[in-house]
Amino acid sequence: MVASANLGYPRIGARREFKRALEAHWKGEIDADALEALGAELRQQNWAAQVKAGLTRIPSNDFSFYDHVLDMTALLGAVPPRFAGRQGLDALFAMARGTTHAPAMEMTKWFDTNYHYIVPELTPDLDLHLAHDLPVQRFAEAKAQGIHTRPVLLGPVTWLALGKSKTEGFDPLSLLPQVVAVYAELLSRLKAAGADWVQIDEPILVRDLTEPEAAALQSAYAALAEAGPHILLATYFGALGDNTDLACGLPVAGLHVDLVRAPAQLDAVLDRVGERTLSLGLIDGRNIWRSDLSAALTLATRAVERLGPDRVEVAPSCSLLHVPVDLALESGLDEEQASWLAFARQKLDEVAALAAAAAGGRAAAAEAFDRADAAIASRRASPRIHDASVKARVARVADADLRRASPYAERAARQQARLGLPVFPTTTIGSFPQTPDIRQARAAYRRGEMDDADYNGFLQDRTRDCIRRQEALGLDVLVHGEFERNDMVEYFGERLAGFFFTRNGWVQSYGSRCVKPPVIFGDVSRPDAMTVDWARFAAAQTDRPMKGMLTGPVTILQWSFVRDDQPRAQTCRQIALAIRDEVVDLEQAGLPIIQIDEAALREGLPLRQAERAAYLDWAVACFRLASSPVSDETQIHTHMCYSEFNDIMPAIAAMDADVISIETSRSDMELLSAFHDFAYPNQIGPGVWDIHSPRVPDEASMVALLQAAAALIPPERLWVNPDCGLKTRGWPEVERSLTHLVAAAKQLRDSV
């Protein structure tokens, strides 16, 4: 028997029931018991779906009321003192969301996904102990439903590695012995409860490990090997690479490897896996395409021939947390499109079919294989996917297409001659408050309750009003406000060929927040101009310079589900050409400044150092392809949200935007030192207002930030702007904050 396994199932519910319940609970509309009851119901549904699909290794403890990293933090008793005295869900939500007296714990992205985890705060005085044994309770809960599960635990070394030292000079790994002692206690309780296997996730094994991290893995698993049930050590999001020997040498009973991201590692792992059980991550847990089961079967068969059927498991590459729940709820897709896709529920069937065929040959799951083959063949050939003219255009891209006409210094002089801006020019990042009436109008328009003319008239009013307000505030470079946009990626995806949208394809981003990424399914092109009418309308309302606003190719790629039948770089080039066309049109429409946001450029960086240069190469080339067709007199801006710039400065400089705005206010301009140290040559707008907070910063605080910036960057190259777009803020705070911002810029001007 080849086991069919799952590593984790989405928690949000097929219709985002969980999101709504969480938010209702936070508003005080339902109590903790009601929320707990819904959690139990969802777990039961998820387990039942996996039983129904025929899976033989079903996870428990993959459910979480907020985040699995936070759950482990709570289990270990690693609760920061400012949350002391709180219990259970109350403590969990206080840590995740903060209280009036205690700021929330930090949140950051889980590896290279769009899922965010709550960062453990590590200090030497933590009193680590088994604070609760929920994993044991959840195992018992499933058992009571007649389901024997394999509990999932985040591994001790990954938990520590993802944490942040909150004490100067303190090494979090020094907590390892205490952490491992708690895990040992937990494992022994799981065994006592009847668990024969546990899945322990150590995705850190696909990153570049430090020597102390490698040593920590060795000592942790030496201590845990006999502490409880058999351990399946799960690795995912990439290849083990130079950690293969380490992973295959740990004293665990089983190993899971990601063969979607890294199919080539199978042979090396087979050579080293010894007597262990090997779990093959063959179904893509990070994307929504139907699997090429025949190709996967080739790999599975190879493993079965080497290890025998009893030591092989077939599984998704990683937890299914990162894909939407159920394709069956997608009513808007046609049959052909739907046949190309598999969401979490459908992926379970793929796992089961593949496991059956790995043991009994293709005939054991002939129907599933036939359907998969047909879907793959149709994707390969469909004229809806393949556009020869797009492919030909990408092939024709030449080096000259990636370059502006003149070097920055010459462009800057020409742009200044055209724009005549003061020193410390003021601007904003693009969006202005998306007030409830705007959201309501959009919803009404989408429901067909508002016609084109009314909706457009409404948006024109808002845009005009926004421009009036910016003029009154005294801003130098204006924006139109982005009222017509729901989301900075979706807006473009809806206007580009090669994209489609799901109705219900939600994926958890953090806590109750879900995102619904567009699907890039085919060759991308731009049938018509996407933003030119609005830009032209806005420019006509004022004498001041107006910025045209676009989302960059890397960001559109990064925040979508991307096709898996060609390299990401190729898809990105297609998007870049579409944006390039828009840039040309905006310039022709008379816009003197065009901003191309690349909010997600940094987050697309591969987990492994060795792969970063290649990524940055094509990412930067795509930005340049999109931004370079304009004349010297047209000023190109870009914007990046919070990013560490130190290790990517050469790439940032190579983008060669005339102006870059970045998020810096919360770091006290610390992030700007990367630009100083690199001697970044172009203009920079370091954010001086933290727009994530409702606080209105005063003029003095912005002056102080600007002075700090001016100590690092020559004043004649500094812009004055907020950290990011203002769509989540309200007008009163925006107007007060921008009044201070404009005044702060004037103060700086007077002092130079």
Could you list the active site residues?
Answer: 692
Which one of the spans 27-35, 52-60, 89-97, 425-433 is the region binding ligand GLN (CB under 6 A)? 425-433
Q: Which amino acid is at 157?
A: V
Farthest CA pair distance, the chain: 81
Q: Give the phi and the psi of residue 670 in degrees, each rounded to 5.
A: -55, -40
Which x/- pattern over 478-517 shows residues binding ligand GLN (rule: CB under 6 A)?
A: ----x-----x-----------------------------
**Between 7 and 475, whose beta carbon lies closer to Zn ion?**
475
What mask of x and - would describe binding to ligand GLN in positions 639 to 678, judged by CB under 6 A?
x-x-------------------------------------
Stretch of 94-102, 331-339, 427-435, 614-622 contacting ligand GLN, by CB under 6 A? 427-435
Of 149, 151, 132, 250, the C-alpha closest to 199 is 151
Q: How far is the CB of 208 from Zn ion (least distance, A)?
A: 28
User: From the list 38, 724, 738, 744, which residue makes contact with ligand GLN (rule: CB under 6 A)?
Assistant: 724
Contact 652, 681 (CB under 8 A): no
Q: Per CB under 5 A, does 160 bind Zn ion? A: no
Q: How far is the CB of 724 from ligand GLN (least distance, A)?
A: 5
Torsion region of 668: left, alpha or beta (phi above 0 gives left; psi -120 to 50 gives alpha):
left
- Does the annotation list 639 as a binding residue? yes
Cβ proximity to Zn ion, 603 vs 632, nearer residue: 603
Q: Choose the one of Zn ion, ligand GLN, none that binds residue 488, judging by a C-beta under 5 to 8 angstroms depending on kind.
A: ligand GLN
Helix (H, G, I), strand (E, B) or coil at 284: coil
Q: What is the 3-state secondary structure (H, E, C) of 581-600?
A: HHHHHHHHCCCCEEEEECCC
Size of the site for ligand GLN (CB under 6 A): 13
Interaction of residue 78 with ligand GLN, rule CB under 6 A = no
431 binds, among ligand GLN, Zn ion, none (CB under 5 to 8 A by kind): ligand GLN
Residue 616 tokens, joined: 């940055």
Tell me how far, at minimum, the Cβ of 513 lies from Zn ion, in Å.
17
Closest CA to 481 of 432, 540, 441: 432
Nearer to ligand GLN, 216 or 535 (CB): 535
Using the minimum distance from each CB to Zn ion, give the nearer residue, 107 or 532: 107
Can you tell me the distance from the alpha carbon of 275 to that of 217, in angstroms, rounded to the nearest whole number?
20
x/- track of binding to Zn ion for residues 594-633 (CB under 5 A): -----x----------------------------------
725 binds ligand GLN (CB under 6 A): yes
Does 598 belong to an annotated binding site? no
Q: Cite the DSSP H helix spans in 449-552.
A: 452-473, 490-493, 532-539
Handedness of CA 157, 158, 159, 165 (dihedral sign): positive
The CB-side HSE value for 397 (13 A sphere, CA atoms) comes to: 25
Structure tokens at 95: 């840590």
> Over 320-388, what HEC string results?
HHHCCCCHHHCCCCCHHHHHCECCHHHHHHHHHHHHHHHHHCHHHHHHHHHHHHHHHHHHHHCCCCCCH
Does 155 participate in binding ligand GLN (rule CB under 6 A)?
no
Neighbouring C-beta atoms of residue 162, cutoff 10 Å = 22
* Residue 431 marked in a binding site: yes
DSSP state of 720: B
Under 8 Å between Cβ of 448 and 457? no
DSSP state of 194: T
347 carries a ligand binding annotation: no
Selected from 5, 22, 724, 734, the binder of Zn ion by CB under 5 A is 724
Q: Applying CB under 6 A, which part among 61-69, 384-392, 424-432, 681-689 lies near ligand GLN?
A: 424-432
Among candidates 67, 14, 115, which has minimal Cα distance to 509? 115
- Told to check if 729 binds ligand GLN by CB under 6 A, we report no
Query: Does 724 belong to an annotated binding site?
Result: yes
Q: How far apart are CA 620 and CA 553, in angstroms?
A: 10
Nearer residue to ligand GLN within complex by CB, 429 or 741: 429
Write down the least CB distance from residue 724 to Zn ion, Å. Answer: 3
Q: Binding of ligand GLN at residue 49 (CB under 6 A)?
A: no
Nearer to Zn ion, 585 or 603 (CB): 603
Q: Is 723 in the site for ligand GLN (CB under 6 A)?
A: no
- Could you tell me which residues come within 8 angstroms of residue 4 by beta carbon, excluding any fewer than 6 positions away? 53, 54, 55, 56, 57, 313, 314, 315, 351, 352, 354, 355, 356
- Residues within window 576-635 making contact with ligand GLN, judged by CB under 6 A: 597, 599
Residue 727 makes contact with ligand GLN by CB under 6 A = yes
Residue 482 assigned to a binding site: yes
Token output for 128: 């680590």
Instruction: Tell me the closest approach of the beta carbon of residue 684 to Zn ion, in angstroms.
Output: 14
* Residue 19 annotated as binding site: yes
User: Contacts with ligand GLN in 511-550 (CB under 6 A)?
Assistant: 549
Q: Are strands 519-525 and 497-500 parallel, antiparallel or unpaired?
A: antiparallel
Q: Find tokens 């599960």 and name the residue.
A: 149
Choice between 430 and 522, CB closer to Zn ion: 430
Is residue 430 close enough to count as binding ligand GLN by CB under 6 A?
yes
Nearest residue to the partner ligand GLN, using Cβ: 725
Tokens of 732: 């009163």
Nearest to residue 2, comparing CAs of 320, 269, 301, 285? 301
Which does residue 292 bind out of ligand GLN, Zn ion, none, counting CB within 5 to 8 angstroms by kind? none
CB 307 within 8 A of CB 278: yes
445-464 exposure pattern, b = at least 16 Cβ within 10 A, e = fewer: beeeebeeeebbebbbebbb
- Is there a binding annotation on residue 727? no
Binding site members for 5-methyltetrahydropteroyltri-L-glutamate? 16-19, 109, 114, 513-514, 559, 603
**Can you give the binding site for ligand GLN, defined by CB under 6 A?**
429-431, 482, 488, 549, 597, 599, 639, 641, 724-725, 727
Enumerate binding residues for Zn ion (CB under 5 A).
599, 641, 724
Annotated binding site: 16-19, 109, 114, 429-431, 482, 513-514, 559, 597, 603, 639, 641, 663, 724
